[in-house]
Structures are given as structure tokens and as C-alpha cells.
Amino acid sequence: MSYFRRPSTASIALAVIVASQLMFVLDATVVNIALVPIQNTLHFSKANLAWVIDAYSLAFGGLLLLGGRAGDVYGRRRLLVGGLALFTSASLVGGLATSASMLLIARAVQGIGAAMAAPSTLSLISSIYAEGPARNRALGVFTAVSAGGGSLGLILGGALTSWVSWRWVLMINVPIGILVIMLAPRYVPEPPRNGGRLDVTGAALVTAGLGAVIYGFIRLAEQGSRDVTIATFVIGAALLASFVGVEKKVEQPLFPFRLLSSRTRASSYLDMLLVPSVMYGVFFFVSQYLEGTLHFSAIKAGFAFLPLTAMIFTLSRITPRLVTRFGARPLLLVGLTTLALAAYWISRAHSSEGYFASLFGPLLLFGLGAGTSFLPLSITILGGVPRDDAGAASGMLQTMQQTGGALGVAILSTIALGHGRSLALEVGSAIAVLALVVAALAIRPPRPVRVPSDEELALEMEPLPLFE
């Protein structure tokens, strides 16, 4: 007998999980367009303004792997609800902030709460749904939110800033967070916990190491002191190397490196680093181009991303069936090829052509590439992962996403400062080509045996009979 009596109950559980992920992804970009009014209201210096974004990214990316394993040990639903409570409370404090320091602390605490909860969203899906069409459908919705949430954040940020107040880019999380916290204990099951103890030494090393690396990327993007940037990368690399050494010796590692014994999964993790680096680099440059070159207002610039966002969310209903019919690899190869072509096309944009002639088409194509890349990668990473390791696998997946985004913005913006935006976007296209080569040579997930009927697919949306 299944934990879920009716498919509608499973749908509510999936909606709760996806709503949580949407809040975390939105907050990485939603404040971008609100930075000017934030600066004017709270009297930020120009040098410190970027930390409104970076404080969140640093805490979120640095703690994701820890959050993933903590969910395995202490309970994934428990970490989801606890992280959401912290995230929602910090959102309220940030929206009510009366000083720059108060907002920055709130943003960092938001990142901590998101890192606690985010790995549990993905691992709960992989624990609840069996591998196959049912999980693919659920992951299709989840990856659409993960891939499209960044651009949706730009739209929402522009609308709230222009129509209400910049404070609502944070406070919008409060009613959504309260609703999700109320629904989660009732509709989201708590999978069996691993028990055991959390590897405290490994947790400290990986958190400090990831934090140092992400901070190095932030310094690189902000054109900080070269010596400090290099020192930060060296320290981060040394800490992560120490983490690997510790994890190979402990009985219950924070990240089981046996998960990388599969060439397909290890290569998929690499591509999960490369693809977001292209995406967030494009978001960064297109935003600058719209507001700086085409002189779009905040809300107009946000809505200019609508073709990309709409394409990603539309594909979320199609790609699960395509993966079921043809397998993850063919779809991934098509998606990465499209992503590379779209990034190159955007690099050719010229202000004399206007928005529709220069950006509308390539943004649609970029949405097509993103919408057909993330789901196959998520499926190949999570496929075959033991339930006890689902949190760790999910935490690493999202760590790659966050680190990749920071890496892309840092590297491409550094190239743009020295050689121009066009060359930076061409390098972004080359990164997508590299991801394509990795996928073509090393990612070979098993092909599906057959395509189920619509009736079978509807029945399979009933989750695994794990919870009596």
C-alpha cells in the first residue's frame, strides 16, 4: 500500500517541493534589477552593493553539500521545513531592513536556509518516485524551475521594483514560505533516515573550501585585488584537497566518492558545472545589454527574458516524454548543440538592430537548449543512486550548478572587460561546445526499453510504496 492514496496527493507533494526550489532559485537573481533603489534607500557604497547578491550566493553555494548529507542523516523533510523556516524569516528581515548591514546579514542567512533545504527538494523526488517515466515527469517540472527560475527572477524583480517596492522582491517569499511550511508535513513523506553521524571534519573542510572558491570567483568578477583572488583560490583548492583525503578514510563520508565511479555520472556532474556557467554568463551580459545599450527600463528588461523563460517552461511538459522515448543522451546532445549556437548568435547582437532583430530569436533558441539539457543531466546523475545517498548526490548536483554560475559570470565578465562582450559570449559558446564533447564521448546512460501508454504513465505517477 502506497503512502499516497490518490495521485492528487502526490501532485500536492510535488508542488510543495517545486515551490520551495523556485524560491531558492529566484533569490539568486530577483534582486539584480532592484540594486539601484536598494542602494539609494540603504545608502550602500558602490563597492559593497554587489554583496547584496554575493552574500546569498556565497552562503548558498558553500553549504549545499553539507545540507545534502545532513538531509540523509537527520531527515530530508525535516531539513526542508527547517531550512524554509530560516529562509522565510530572513526574507522578512531583509524586506524590512533599515541599514545596509542588516540587509547583508539577512541575505547570508537566506543562503544558509536555502542550502539546508535545497538538496532535500531534489532528493525527495528521487526517493518518492521510481526511476522511469514517473520520475522523469517530476524531474521535468523541477528542472524547468531550476533552469528557468533565474530568468523568471529577472522578470519578477523588474515588476515588483517598478510597480510596488524593491522590498517586495524579498518579502514575496514570506506568504509562499509559510504556505509551503504548513503543507510539507502533511503531504510530503519523510523517507527512512540513514542514521549515523555527520562527518564534522569533512563538513568544515568542504564548506570552507567551497566558500573560498566561490569567493574567489566573486572577487574575479568584481575585479578585486589579483593577489587576494589568487590566494583565495589556492586556499580553497588546498581545503578541498584535504576534504577528499578525509572523505576517503571516514566510515560515513559527507560525499561518497563511489558515486563518481560511473563515468556517465562523473561526466554529467562536469556538464552540470559547465552548462550553468554559460547560462548565467548570458543572463549577465543580456541584462547589461538591455539596460545599458538598448536603455530598457527595469521592468522592460525583465520582460525581455520572457521568450527564454516561456520556452523552458513549455519544454518541461515535452522533454520527459522525449527522454522516455529516445533516452537522455540524444536529447542532451541536441540541447547542448542548440545552447552553443544560441550563445554565439547572442554574441552577434548589435544595438542598431533593436531587440526583436538581435535578441528575440537567440533567446528563444537559448531557452530551447537549456530546456533540453538540464533534465537529461539530472536523470543521468540521479539514475541508479542508492536511496541512502540521494541527499549527497543531490547536494553535489546543486553545488555544481551554483559554482558553475559563479564561474561563468566571473570568467566571462573578466574577458569582456579586456576584450569586449562579443568575445566573452563566444567563449561562452565554446564552453557549451566543451560540454557537448564531454557528453558525446563520456555520457552513455542506458536507453529506455519501451514507451508506456498514457494509462501506465498515469498509474506510475503514484509514488514508490515506501511509506506504509
Closest CA to 213 of 381, 65, 1, 415: 65
Question: Nearest CA to 193 among 73, 316, 109, 46?
Answer: 73
Name the nearest CA neighbour of 108 among 211, 235, 221.
211
Query: Whole-angstrom Cα distance, residue 99 to residue 294?
Result: 33
Whole-angstrom Cα distance, residue 366 to residue 309? 10
Cell of 439: 557528453
Burial class (CB in 10 A: 0-12, 13-18, 19+), 70: buried
Domain boundaries, the chain: 7-188+254-447, 199-253
Can you tell me the distance from the alpha carbon of 114 to that of 116, in angstroms, rounded to the nearest whole number? 5
Tell me, what's the pLDDT at 159? 86
DSSP code, position 327: -
Query: Are the C-beta atoms of residues 366 and 342 closer than 8 Å to each other?
Result: yes
Burial 392-412 (b: 16+ CB within 10 A, else e): bbbbbbbbbbbbbbbbbbbbb
Q: Which own/partner pairs from 285-288 qualify as long-range (CB within 8 Å, at least 24 positions apart)?
A: 285/346, 285/412, 285/416, 285/421, 285/424, 285/425, 286/346, 286/359, 286/363, 287/32, 287/33, 287/154, 288/421
CA proximity to 339, closest of 282, 424, 402, 284: 282
Q: What is the CATH number of domain 7-188+254-447?
A: 1.20.1250.20
Give me the pLDDT at residue 457, please: 41
Cβ pair 254, 197 in contact under 8 A = no
Task: Give yes or no for a contact between 343 and 278, defined as CB atoms under 8 angstroms apart.
Answer: yes
Cα distances (Å, whole numbers) of residue 306 to 37, 112, 263:
23, 30, 36
pLDDT at residue 448, as a whole number: 56
Q: Provide the CB-side half-sphere exposure for 259 (13 A, CA).
A: 26
**pLDDT score of 377:** 94
Q: In whole angstroms, how far apart are CA 155 and each of 171, 290, 311?
A: 16, 13, 14
Distance CA 429, CA 341 (A): 7
CA gap 341, 373 in Å, rounded = 14
State the 10-residue block means of pLDDT for the chain, 468 residues long.
50 90 86 83 81 85 86 90 97 96 95 92 83 85 83 82 90 94 91 76 88 83 78 94 90 85 94 93 84 82 87 88 90 96 94 88 95 92 84 88 83 83 94 97 74 42 42
Position 456 scores a pLDDT of 41
Nearest CA among 380, 374, 382 for reference residue 316: 374
How is residue 231 written as a grid cell?
Answer: 590566494
pLDDT at 66: 87
* Those residues with Cβ within 8 angstroms of residue 44's Cβ, 6 or more apart along the chain or in another chain: 38, 52, 100
- 107 to 29, 191, 337, 402, 413: CA distances (angstroms): 12, 30, 36, 16, 23
Which residue bears the cell 547570508? 108
